[in-house]
Structure 1
C-alpha cells in the first residue's frame, strides 16, 4: 500500500479541499437541467426530483456507518476506488438515458460520496494536530458552502451551452482530476487499523440516539436544510416554466440561495456565545414573518426579484438555525465525536431527503405562493421541535464527558 509522504502535504491537502464540496456539487450542479431532463427521460416533475432524493437518502444512510468503515479499512484505497466508480457512474448517466438507471446510479453515488467525504475529513486529522488542525478544520465549512453557491451557476451555463448531459460529464471529469491528484500525491496516513467491534459501536449509537436533545436537534437540522433543498427542487420549474426565464437565471437564483445559507451560518458563528434558546426563537420568528409576507404579496408582487428577496431572507434564517444546531450536535458527545458527526450529517440528510421530497410530491411548488406555503409548513415543524426540545444549557449527563475531554 502506498504510504503518505509528508513532502506532498500541501498538494494532498489541496486534493482534500477539492473533494470536501463533492456532496454539494453532486446535488446542485444539475438543478437547472431538471426541466430538460424531465423531457429527455420521459418522466414527470416528481420523477426527476426523485433523482435528488435517491442520492440524499443513500448519502445519509452511508454517512451513519462511514466513520467506522474508514477507521477499519483505511482512507487511501477506499477513496481511489470510490472516485473511479463515481466517475464511471456519471459518464454512464450521460450515456444511458433511462430514468430507472439514473436512480440506480444516484443511489451508488450517494454511498460513494459519503465514503469519500468522511475519508478526506479523517485524513486531515491523520496528518495535522493542534492549531493547524483547528485552522484547516474551520476552513471545511466555508469550502463546503462554496458548492451550493457555485454549482447551479456552473450548471446553468452547461445546460445552455451543451445540454443536461454536460453536468454529468463535468462531475465525471472532476472526479478523474481528483483521482489523479490522489494517486500522485496522496497515500495512506493511518498508522494503526483498529479492529471493528460491532457490539461496542452499537452501544454508542444507541446511547447517542436515546439522548432527546440530540435527536430533536438532528431532526431540526434536517428541517432547516429542507428549506434550501425545497427551493433547489422547485426553482427550475418556477423560474423556467412559470416565469419563462432561462436556466442561466436559475443558476444565478441558486447562487443567491446558497449565499443566503452562507450568510446565515456566518451570523450563527458570530452569535456562538448568545443564549441557545433565545437565538433560535428569534430565527424561527424571522422565518414566520418572511414566509407570511411572501404568501401575502403573491397576488400583487410576484416576479423573480420578489421571489429571490424572500428566498434569500428565509435561507439566512434557516442557515442560522442549521449552524446553531449543527454545532450543538457535533459537540454534544466529546468522547464519541466520530459517531456523533456521522449521525449528525447522515441523520439530517435523511430527514432532509424524506421531508423535501414528500412536500414537493404532495404540494408541488409551481409559483411563489405555493413555495411560501411549503416554507411555512417547515417553519411550523421547526417551531414545534423548538418548543419541546431546545436545551437551555449543557445537560447534566454531559458533565462527565466534558470533564473527560478537558483532561
Structure 2
C-alpha cells in the first residue's frame, strides 16, 4: 500500500483539513431548504428535521465503530471507499421522491462521513507530535466552522436558484473532487496497524470512558454543539415562517452562526496558554448571563437583530469551549489515535443529537424566547460539568500500553 512520503506530508495535511468540514457541509447545506423540502415532499417540518437527526445519530454511532477498524485496517482505503459511497448517497437523495429513501441515504451519509472524518483526524496524530500536534488539533473547530459558515450560505443560493435537490448534487461533486485528489496525492499515514479484536476495542473504549475527565469532555462537546444544532433546526422556521423572510436570509444567518463559532475557536487558540479550567468557566458564565438577558429581552421584543445577538454571543462562547475540549480529548490518548478520535466524535454526536431532538420536540421552538430556554438548559449543563470535573492540566496520556495511568496534576 502506498504510504505518504515526507514530500507529500504538507499536501496531505491541507487535504485532511479540507475534509474536516465535510460533516458540517452534509448537515448544514440544505438547512435553508427545510421548509421547501417539507412542501415538495408533502410531509411535515418534523419529518424533514428528522433527516438531520438521523444523519447525526448515524454519524455519531458510526464513529464509535470505525475508530477501531481504522486502527486495524488503515486510513487510506476505507476513506476512498467512503468518499465514493457518500457521493452515491448524495446523488440518490437529490433525485428521491420518497422521504424514506432520504432517511436511508442520510444514514449512509452519516456512516461514510464518520469514516472520512475520523481517518483525517487520526492522520494528524499519526504524522505530528508534541506542540505541533497541539497546534493542529486546536485548529480543528476553526476549520470545522467553515462548514456552518459556507454551507448554509451556498444552500440559500442553491435553494433560490435550482431548488433543494441541488444541495445534494453539490455534496456528491464535493466528495468526488476530494476522491480524485486522494487518488493523485494520498496514501496511508498509519505507521503500524493494531490487530482487530472486538474484545480489545471494547476494552480500550471502556478504559477511556472510565477516565472521568475524558468522558466529561465528550459530554460538554455534545452540549456545546447541541446549542448550534438547536439553532440550525429551529432557524428556518423562526426566520422564514415567523419573521417572513426568505431562504437567503436563513443562509446569511447560518453563515453568521459559523463565523461566530470560528471567532470563538480563534480566540481559543490565542488564549491556549491561559489556565484551562478558568477560561472554560468564564466562557460558560458569559453564556449563562447572555441567555438570561436575551430571554428577558425577547419576551417583549423579537426581530432579526435579537436573534443574531443570541447567535453571536452563545455560539462564539460555545466555539471557544468546544475548541478547548476537542483538543483536550483528542490528545488524551495518543496511542489510540483512531479509537480516541472515533469515541470523541461519536460520543459527542450522540449526546448532541439526542439533546437537540428532545429540546426541539419538547419545547416546540416557535419563538426566540423558547429558543433561549433551550440554550439555557444546555448552558447550565456545560457549567455544571466543568465545575464538577477534575481536569488533567498537562494532558499526559491517560493509558499506557504497559502501565496504568501516570499521575498528573489536576486543575483547580
TM-score with structure 2 setting the length:
0.89
Q: How many residue pairs end up in the alignment?
A: 404
Aligned residue in 2 for 1:197: 197
Aligned residue in 2 for 1:355: 355
Aligned residue in 1 for 2:266: 266
CA distance in 1, matches of 2:134, 2:329: 18
Aligned residue in 1 for 2:49: 49
Q: CA deviation at 1:335?
A: 4.4
CA gap 1:282/1:188 in 2 versus in 1, 3 angstroms: closer
Deviations 1:349-381 (A, max 9, x none): 110011001111111212211111111121222
Aligned partners of 1:275 and 1:392 also within 8 Å: no
Deviations 1:91-136 (A, max 9, x none): 1111112111111111111110011112233345556677776665
CA gap 1:134/1:143 in 2 versus in 1, 3 angstroms: same
Aligned residue in 1 for 2:186: 186
Aligned residue in 2 for 1:73: 73
For structure 2, list consecutive stretches of 5 or more residues without a partner in the other structure: none
CA distance in 2, matches of 1:64, 1:99: 27
Aligned residue in 2 for 1:279: 279
1:83-122 mapped onto 2 (5 Å cutoff): 83-122=83-122
CA distance in 1, matches of 2:186, 2:30: 29
1:172 is the counterpart of 2:172: yes
CA distance in 1, matches of 2:366, 2:79: 40
CA distance in 2, matches of 1:386, 1:107: 32
Aligned residue in 2 for 1:293: 293
Decide which moves more: 351-360 or 316-325: 316-325
Aligned residue in 1 for 2:372: 372
Aligned partners of 2:121 and 2:341 also within 8 Å: no
CA distance in 2, matches of 1:134, 1:212: 21
CA gap 1:331/1:130 in 2 versus in 1, 3 angstroms: closer
Aligned residue in 1 for 2:245: 245
Deviations 1:150-175 (A, max 9, x none): 11111111111111101001001111
Q: CA deviation at 1:322?
A: 1.7
CA distance in 2, matches of 1:233, 1:133: 34
CA distance in 2, matches of 1:158, 1:122: 33
CA distance in 2, matches of 1:272, 1:8: 29
TM-score with structure 1 setting the length:
0.90
Q: CA deviation at 1:390?
A: 5.0
1:142 is the counterpart of 2:142: yes
CA distance in 2, matches of 1:260, 1:144: 12
For structure 1, list consecutive stretches of 5 or more residues without a partner in the other structure: none
Q: Secondary structure in 2 aligned to 1:298? A: helix
Aligned residue in 2 for 1:39: 39
Aligned residue in 2 for 1:345: 345
1:58 is the counterpart of 2:58: yes
Decide which moves more: 187-196 or 230-239: 187-196
CA distance in 1, matches of 2:27, 2:322: 18
CA distance in 2, matches of 1:397, 1:179: 34
CA gap 1:264/1:348 in 2 versus in 1, 3 angstroms: same
1:313 is the counterpart of 2:313: yes
CA distance in 2, matches of 1:111, 1:269: 30
Aligned partners of 1:263 and 1:316 also within 8 Å: yes
Q: CA deviation at 1:60?
A: 1.0
CA gap 1:15/1:263 in 2 versus in 1, 3 angstroms: closer
CA distance in 2, matches of 1:238, 1:330: 35
CA gap 1:208/1:15 in 2 versus in 1, 3 angstroms: closer
